[in-house]
Amino acid sequence: MSPDTSDSLLALPAEDPPGPAERALGARYDHALASLTLAFQPIVRASDHQVIGVEALCRPHPSFRGPAELIAAAQRLGAVRDLGRRVRQLAAAAFHRTRERGLLFVNLHPDDLLDPALASPSAPLAASADHVVFEITEHSPTLGIPDLGRRIAGLREAGYRVAIDDLGAGHARMSLFRPLSADFIKLDMSLSRGIDGHPVKQQLVESIARMARTRGIQTIAEGIETEGEARILAQLGCDHLQGYLFGRPAPLA
C-alpha cells in the first residue's frame, strides 16, 4: 500500500511511526483492497419503474464488516485515494456490463475530490464519462475542500455528471447547495422511511423535489422498501427511486 501524500484531508501526521496494530491493520487492509469487489443496485424511474442506472457499492472481504469499516481503515492508513482509485478501476472494468442498464453511479469520498487522477483524461472511467455519475456525499469533511465548486465544475467539464448523495442524513447541512451545480440530488433513506405515514417528511421531500426541478436537477429517493413509500415519493415529484423494493445490491450476473 502506498500512503497518500501532499494535501490529503485525512493522511496521518508524518511523525506517527506505524506500531504493530497499524501494521496489522495495513496487512488486513491490503488484502481487502486486493480482493475488493463491487455490487450494483438498480435505480428506477419513479413513473414506470424502468431501470435508469445502477449504483456501484463496495463489497470488501469479510474481515471488514462493510464499506464504512474499510473506508475508516483507509482513513487511518492515509490510503483513501488508493481506495477510490481501486473502486473506479473496478467500476470501469464492469462498465461494459452495466452499460445496458443506463448510468453508472460511483461514490466518491471527499478526499477523492483532491486527487488529480480523478478527472484525468487517462483515468479508467474517462472514456465512459458520459455514462458516469459521481456521487458526492454531504459528510462534513466536504466543507474543508478548497474550491469545491471549481472541482465539481471540472468533473462536469470532463463529461461526468454529479449527484449530491445522502441529502437529509444526520450529518447533512445542505451546505453543498451553495457552490453547486449538480445533475442529481439523492435523498437519504431516513427521508423515505415510512414517508407514506409522515406528513412532515412529505412536505420536506415535496419542497426539495420542487426546488430541484426548477434548477434542472433530478431527484433520486434512496432506501425504498415498500410500495407505499414508492407511490407517495412518485406523487411528491421524485424522479427516481432506489431501494430493496426494486433490487438489493448484487454482483453482475
Residues that bind Mn ion (CB under 5 A): 107, 135, 165
State which residue, 11 or 55, has the beta carbon closest to ligand G. 55
Q: Is 225 in the site for ligand G (CB under 6 A)?
A: yes
State which residue, 22 or 196, has the beta carbon closest to ligand G. 196
Alpha-carbon distance 4 to 106, whole Å? Answer: 21
Provide, rounded to whole angstroms, the least separation between the CB of residue 107 and ligand G: 5
Provide, rounded to whole angstroms, the least separation between the CB of residue 216 and ligand G: 22
- The single residue among 42, 84, 110, 223 that binds ligand G, judged by CB under 6 A, is 223
Q: How many other CB atoms are there within 10 angstroms of residue 119's CB atom?
A: 20
Total of chain residues touching ligand G, rule CB under 6 A = 13
Q: How many other CB atoms are there within 10 angstroms of residue 162's CB atom?
A: 23
Among the residue ranges 71-79, 117-125, 177-185, 218-226, the one whose residues contact ligand G (CB under 6 A): 218-226
3-state SS, residue 67: helix
Q: Is 60 in the site for ligand G (CB under 6 A)?
A: no
Closest CA to 108 of 73, 78, 138: 138
Residues facing residue 56 across a β-bridge: 40, 106
Whether the Cβ atoms of residue 42 and residue 240 lie closer than 8 Å to each other: no
State which residue, 78 or 218, has the beta carbon closest to Mn ion. 218
Q: Which of residues 3-42 bind ligand G (CB under 6 A)?
A: 41
22 binds, among ligand G, Mn ion, none (CB under 5 to 8 A by kind): none
- The single residue among 111, 138, 165, 239 that binds ligand G, judged by CB under 6 A, is 165
Q: Is 107 in the site for ligand G (CB under 6 A)?
A: yes
Provide, rounded to whole angstroms, the least separation between the CB of residue 248 and ligand G: 7
3-state SS, residue 88: helix
Q: CA gyration radius for the chain?
A: 18
Whether the Cβ atoms of residue 81 and residue 8 lie closer than 8 Å to each other: yes
Greatest CA separation found in the chain?
56
**In this structure, what C-alpha cell is assigned to residue 240?**
427516481
168 binds, among Mn ion, ligand G, none (CB under 5 to 8 A by kind): none
Q: What angle separates helix 67-76 from helix 80-98, to the nearest 10 degrees?
A: 140
Give the binding site for ligand G (CB under 6 A): 41, 57, 107, 165-166, 189, 222-225, 243-244, 249
